[in-house]
A and B are shown apart, each in its own frame.
Chain A
């Protein structure tokens, strides 16, 4: 049973969308109309200030007309029932579409979806949300007097979508939540910080932090005051799930978004069916992963969410697509057509991208390392789809000596290398698994929520 699936304006407009699609298809081989409403609010409490900042809502109608060559879109802000059909007519009038017969709109399907939640943020008062953040701030700052600030932030995002083409009439209401805690400490050498977060497609029930988690956060922030710079060179490296995830995101994530194939930007296009990593490497993108921050029920082009395997036992088996790139390349569509909001175009985008787990316990994996570095946390990563260079910035790392993790801390720890070399060097994969969430852009724009992750990996890479 769905509750408040759509806004009243979207619900009122939904019955008229079929006629709007017909108007588009009176001129174009394929037409679709999407209603999208994306709202988010950020809450912040730190030692000195509080804030509630609603983001600009992006609400609008997107008219799409495609002839197999050029994808035409028009985004109109708001939901005007009065203007819908006129906008559709105006949009396609005067355009000379190529007529290659009707494009396949997919199977007949009518369905509504909604994120399952125990504690829907929409039903919790701002007062209660702020009180929870104040309590978290208090818990963190009481741990150590060297903490100069404990910044606790909470983000709630609600995405409501209706997708209509000739055969599909779909609606989804996706709730995303994210809580981050950033701890700043000051010492003789300056100011340092550490951070942690939890997120998902879920309600507030997932945003709890144990005392142990908060104490570890503060301990690492304080530890950074005395962290050393690592001596540049090649190391045996153990990556935590969040770091493994960024390696996979930047190597066989961005590089296999198939608009990159169309633009001749992807080196991976020359490696289909070829080895790109050790036998232990399996990489997936899965928008249907339960409760993950990058999940949804159908993509922005109406394709149902499901898992796509990108690398199987070290062999590259296929990329992720949207309607345009799949049509142009003549390959199967995957449910990865995503847009930032109604004002932006669709691209093939990652969702939840991760390495598959292995079967080795973590302590056994670390036990294999005589002299190496454990990287528990990243601060950023950058793709290089053509050159296959990889840059992952570890926020810090710990020394591993004789198979044992020590307290010796290095910061920051930059990891670079050539993608096939790094993936080929993976010699052990742990049996655990975790996903870290955040936002991903294409260049400096087109931001969408994603996760990446996997197990711990043992590999060789250049650190500096």
Chain B
């Protein structure tokens, strides 16, 4: 079918450029409830996605480019689908642009050999390991867990001469720990996305969640507070890199598409902060080459090879993240998709960061700053008042502030960690944030 689609595209004189992406997905899903299995699923799918670029004219007759996209299932009608794509492309009016040219594509490590050996067996093994690990924490009960595994093979060919294939794996694990009884029960809910089973770091994650769950039983009401806030692990990763499947504030404001539309205040060579930097200088790479990073890829959906872009250096923006189209519009090199967030290690140890009285935020309900301004007011699900070597848990209250202002006044730890879409300091202290208790 791939060759038939390719031949039809080559023969269509209305099409200026085209890309075919062929995705084959095999997935296994297992859902556990306490001691039993709730559901077991197997999912297989295959899809061809075709982008066509055509010349189009707007109502004033000005020549531009239009993109038409169609997806075809195996056995689908190729000719009528391509006809739809061309009709759509001719109705969409944008400034002229090109598809990506071929470039050397490096192979990035994206597939877990351990998983690929026996997908269903490995998923069972992950869930068994989780259950066994939980036995070490008798104060918590594992009441539910879900584990998904997916193997995806993507083949991309374009009229510009790109021909590339990549195989990826992705694991998803969620589980619930409950502690206490009756109306006094508390829970923690964990969700982890990784490409490799070994990166799930089950023992470490389970220990942390078990600790949080038992501490929630003891947690008191929130304080009203203004001062240093310590954050670590996955909670810090979400603040900086965003939710696993969504973007972060930094991704949004560094997008070339927003620069083109005048919706980001950021400029190359200028500080990303509105005020003076009082903490560590901020440096960040947008890294699509990170081995086993969830957003990593050897090539993105346009065929642009993986890059590691120095995005922010000493608080100043160094580049915008651009697909081919916006790179053409803004006369810059295309970077392709953003990838993972990578931040260099800090200068002090985690222990040093925690040496003075502070509050630690262990979990938010949802850290979701305004995607343009960075303002946030997020409920705290679990925090600790840390003083004189003692940690007093609390829950509730709101952490209030602005993420960009917070990043301009913080210190990073020397120790680093990897959390799926984030590689960087394991911990950080924000020097001055406010909790509304």
Interface residues of A (CB under 8 A from B): 46-60, 69-78, 80, 126-127, 130, 148-149, 184, 186, 190-193, 229, 232-233, 262-265, 267, 270, 324, 328, 342-343, 345, 379-380, 382, 384, 386-387, 389-391, 393, 411-414, 416, 418, 443-445, 462, 464
Contacts and interface: CB of A to CB of B under 8 A. Distances in A.
A324 B244 CA distance: 29
17 contacts: A49-B94, A50-B66, A50-B92, A52-B67, A52-B92, A54-B71, A55-B71, A59-B73, A60-B45, A74-B41, A74-B42, A75-B45, A193-B372, A232-B434, A389-B379, A414-B398, A462-B436
Interface majority SS (helix, strand, loop, mixed), chain B: strand
B377 interface: yes
Given A192-B373, A384-B365, A263 B41 contact: no
Contacts of B373: 190-192
Given A391-B378, A412-B376, A445-B245, 12 more contacts: A50-B94, A51-B92, A70-B37, A77-B44, A127-B91, A191-B264, A264-B141, A265-B143, A265-B144, A382-B379, A386-B185, A414-B398
B71 A270 contact: no
A218 to B, nearest CB: 15
Interface in B228-265: 243-245, 257, 260-265
B49 A75 contact: no
B377 A413 contact: yes
B33 interface: yes
Contacts of A49: 94, 257, 260-261
Contacts of B40: 70, 72-73
B400 interface: yes
B50 to A, nearest CB: 11
B46 A412 contact: no
Contacts of B172: 445
Contact of A345 (B29, B94, B174): B29
The 4 closest A-B pairs by CB, nearest first: A414-B377, A232-B436, A77-B45, A263-B144
A379 B44 CA distance: 35
A384 B187 CA distance: 9
Interface string B40-62: 11111111010000000000000
B47 A56 contact: yes
Interface stretch (B98-106, B160-168, B175-183, B306-314): B175-183
B372 to A, nearest CB: 5
A322 to B, nearest CB: 11
A190 B265 CA distance: 6
Given A73-B39, A186-B262, A192-B372, A270 B182 contact: yes
Contacts of B381: 384, 387, 389
Contacts of B68: 52
Interface string B339-376: 00000000000000000000000000110101011011
Nearest to B404: A190
B31 interface: yes
A186 B265 contact: yes
A464 B365 contact: no
Nearest to B436: A232
A127 to B, nearest CB: 5
A56 B51 CA distance: 12
Interface in B69-106: 69-71, 73-75, 87-88, 91-94
Nearest to B382: A387
Nearest to A37: B73
B39 A72 contact: yes
B274 interface: yes
A232 B370 CA distance: 18
Contacts of B49: 56
B88 A52 contact: yes
Contacts of A384: 365, 379, 381
A186 B91 CA distance: 30
B395 interface: yes
Contact of B375 (A186, A262, A412): A412
Interface of B: 27, 29, 31, 33, 36-47, 49, 66-71, 73-75, 87-88, 91-94, 141, 143-144, 172, 174, 176, 178, 182-183, 185-187, 189, 191, 216, 224, 243-245, 257, 260-265, 274, 365-366, 368, 370, 372-373, 375-379, 381, 395-398, 400, 434, 436
Contacts of B66: 50
Given A126-B87, A192-B373, A389-B396, A48 B366 contact: no
Contacts of B396: 389, 416, 418
Given A149-B261, A191-B264, A416-B379, A73 B41 contact: yes
Given A190-B373, A343-B43, A416-B379, A263 B263 contact: no
Max chain B C-beta neighbours (<10 A), residue from A70, A127, A324? A70
Contacts of A75: 41-45
B400 A464 contact: yes
Contacts of B366: 380, 382, 391
A71 to B, nearest CB: 4
Contacts of B75: 78, 80
Contacts of B93: 50
Contacts of A414: 376-379, 398, 400
Contacts of A149: 261-263
A32 to B, nearest CB: 14
B378 A48 contact: no
Given A126-B87, A345-B31, A391-B378, A232 B398 contact: yes
A100 B379 CA distance: 46
Nearest to A47: B261
Given A77-B73, A190-B274, A345-B39, A387 B263 contact: no
A149 B257 CA distance: 12
Nearest to B85: A54
A234 to B, nearest CB: 10
A382 B377 contact: no
A464 B398 contact: yes
A148 B74 contact: no
Given A270-B183, A386-B187, A416-B396, A264 B178 contact: yes
A391 B375 contact: no
Given A50-B92, A414-B379, A324 B262 contact: no
Contacts of A265: 143-144, 176, 178, 187, 189
Contacts of A77: 44-47, 73-74
Given A46-B261, A52-B91, A264-B143, A71 B398 contact: no
A418 B395 CA distance: 11
A58 B245 CA distance: 19
A149 B258 CA distance: 10
A380 B244 CA distance: 17
B91 A54 contact: no
A263 B176 contact: yes
A267 B183 contact: yes
Contacts of A380: 366, 368
A78 B191 contact: no
Contact of A464 (B261, B372, B436): B436
A387 B395 contact: yes
A393 B368 contact: yes
